[in-house]
Structure 1
Amino acid sequence: MRESQLGDLTVSCLGLGCMGMSQSYGATTDESESIATLHAAIDAGCTFIDTADVYGDGANEELVGRGLTGRRDQVVLATKFGFKKPASSAALPNVVDGSPEYARQAIDASLRRLGVDHVDLWYLHRKDPQVPIEETVGAMASMVKAGKVRYLGLSEVNGDTVRAAHAVHPISAVQSEWSLWTRDPETVVLPTLRELGIGFVPFSPLGRGFLTGQLKSPDDFEPDDMRRGLPRFMGENFQRNLDLVEKVRELAAAKGVTASQLALAWLLAQGNNVAPIPGTKRRKYLAENLGAADVTLTAEELAALDEAFPADVATGQRYTDGGMDLVGK
């Protein structure tokens, strides 16, 4: 598999997002298939592995750690910190803590769960509105000096925050949602990243499964699937967004590829500083996704996709109001 460049960090051009193995998208009980998927990704050259301490309340890091037993040196391992459960009640929503004290606690806990002595890329999951980004990144930089982390990243931030953070310590990557139906990073943060030589890691590059063409109705979601509560998947928004998916299917059929492969190939065509991390917990979908690395889009095909999916084409917010309050900060 060809490679992408995230600052000075070299990664496979496609990564594997592991969140769905432990939460959010229905049943997550098949650990053996999840680990088999992780191994299949590594064997195929997809060696950029993404997790976070909040996924499954730490269970995802533990799962990834078990899956990497004996194979740690074959991957670029990324995790995140910043979300945590309020001490008063486990039933309350996660809060953001970017304090230096919590940063130091979080990396030690992540290393313990992963069973490793360092991670290659460590992100701040969300900017803490109560803590200057310079203080958070300063604490993260101290973990680089301690040998616990190799490179630093941020998630769901704007260009001003990136500049302030990068002035404290080099930022290698910014992770945010980016896909054919979520194009706001192109104006909010990407110009800054390209100016500073920072890479971009799109999560949910298939629109949380919507762009695969597999979803037909909200009834397709299991009862505990997080998408049931996201505005884009609710009520009339679902059908309006489903109409967009048909455009992907038509263009993909004309190209002789799947809708997923077309959507991922579009992202890969945006530059060698882009490394999407489509998530899956099943080998059959992994194989399909990785096929996108072999798809080359012509200028005409890229123009057709841009015409079909202009900025703000999707109906509904990415998150609820509370979730949106934490992005682009």
Structure 2
Amino acid sequence: MKARTLGNSDLVVSSMGLGIMGMSPGMYGETNDEQSIKTIHRALEIGVSLIDTADVYGNGHNEELLGKALKGRRDQAVIATKFSYTPNYESISGHPDYVKKAVEESLRRLQIDYIDLYYQHRVDPTIPIEETVGAMAELVKAGKVRFLGLSEASASTIRRAHAIHPISALESEYSLWSRDIEDEILPTVKELGITHVAYSPLSRGFISGELRKFEDLGQNDLRRYMPRFQGGNFHKNIEIVDKIKEIATEKACTPAQLALAWTIANQALPIPGTKRINYLEENVAAIEVELTQEDLLRIEQVSPKNVIHGTRYMKEQMTLLDG
């Protein structure tokens, strides 16, 4: 496993992480804790050290699962978790008092003494970012958190936050099909030395090519309610997947590996999520896929910016994104 140093820190992390949101009920279909723990253990065995979770995933279940998986293995993992959503995604809070409360609950569920990377999951528009990050900085001083991150923050918010305390990582959705951050946000994080962590680098599994029809999604799969997976959008996006698949075949890799290699070529640290060891190993193998400038140009031609049909979230969720 290749490694890199997290922005504005001395923390060395794997060049690909593991997102574990889907290991909790109510996210991406059926789950199995035993299978999920085995997947986390396998990730650590092959050098995937950055494990990404959040307090709201499964309303605490996700953190508790990770805590169980890391018993006796804490020194092998770089733990990233997030706060700001209240249970069931009912509201967002960046109030300093909530920050202090949230970190204590995460530490308890994770059964650890400190968190390596602590993100604000979404920016609270009612609380100045300076106050929220100021409270997060106090957690660093107290030894409860090592480094700070933001998720889905605008360029101006990132700058204001970074002026209060160094920001080490920006976590944002980034894939062949989610590239809106390229114009302003990516240049900002590059300028400030912040690592860009890409979640959903496979567009929630769509680019992998495993999904062929809407009915493949279970009744308890949240993707059923996302515009990209609905109606005519689904069928139009499948056509794009098939074109990506053609290039992947020529490169002797899978569509998922091609898409992950693309994010890495664009200097991102991807954290693809999976519940299964076989997909984990497939994803990690993408690190060895080398894309030439000619490859990147071909990928751009079949999947150019903004070609995707449908937004990445429902309308009401899109309003929660900063900026």
- Provide the TM-score with structure 2 as the length reference: 0.97
Q: Which residue of 2 aligns with 1:6?
A: 6
Task: Map 1:1-329 onto structure 2 (within 5 A).
Answer: 1-7=1-7, 8=9, 9-23=11-25, 24-28=27-31, 30-85=32-87, 93-271=89-267, 274-329=268-323
SS at match of 1:251: helix
Give the Cα–Cα distance (whole angstroms) in 2 for the partners of residues 4 and 266 of structure 1: 17
Superposition deviation, residue 11 in structure 1: 1.1
Superposition deviation, residue 127 in structure 1: 0.2
SS at match of 1:83: coil
Superposition deviation, residue 3 in structure 1: 1.4
Q: Look up the equivalent residue of 1:300 and give its one-letter code.
A: E
Q: Look up the equivalent residue of 1:12 and give its one-letter code.
A: S
SS at match of 2:241: helix
Give the Cα–Cα distance (whole angstroms) in 2 for the partners of residues 43 and 80 of structure 1: 25
Q: Look up the equivalent residue of 2:271 and give its one-letter code.
A: I
2:151–2:172 CA contact under 8 A, matched in 1 = yes
2:122–2:322 CA contact under 8 A, matched in 1 = no
Q: 1:188 to 1:323 in 2, by over 3 A?
A: farther
| Long gaps (5+) in structure 1 | none
Give the Cα–Cα distance (whole angstroms) in 2 for the partners of residues 77 and 296 of structure 1: 28
SS at match of 1:163: helix
1:17–1:50 CA contact under 8 A, matched in 2 = yes
Give the Cα–Cα distance (whole angstroms) in 1 for the partners of residues 5 and 233 of structure 2: 36
Q: Look up the equivalent residue of 2:12 and give its one-letter code.
A: T
Give the Cα–Cα distance (whole angstroms) in 1 for the partners of residues 53 and 225 of structure 2: 22
Q: Look up the equivalent residue of 1:227 and give its one-letter code.
A: R
Give the Cα–Cα distance (whole angstroms) in 2 for the partners of residues 241 and 4 of structure 1: 33
SS at match of 1:70: coil
Give the Cα–Cα distance (whole angstroms) in 2 for the partners of residues 184 and 328 of structure 1: 13
Superposition deviation, residue 276 in structure 1: 0.5
Superposition deviation, residue 308 in structure 1: 1.9
Superposition deviation, residue 280 in structure 1: 0.4
1:4–1:275 CA contact under 8 A, matched in 2 = no
Matched residues, number? 320
Segments ≥4 residues shifted beyond 4 Å: none
Q: Percent identity?
A: 52
1:6–1:200 CA contact under 8 A, matched in 2 = no
- Provide the TM-score with structure 1 as the length reference: 0.96
SS at match of 2:270: coil
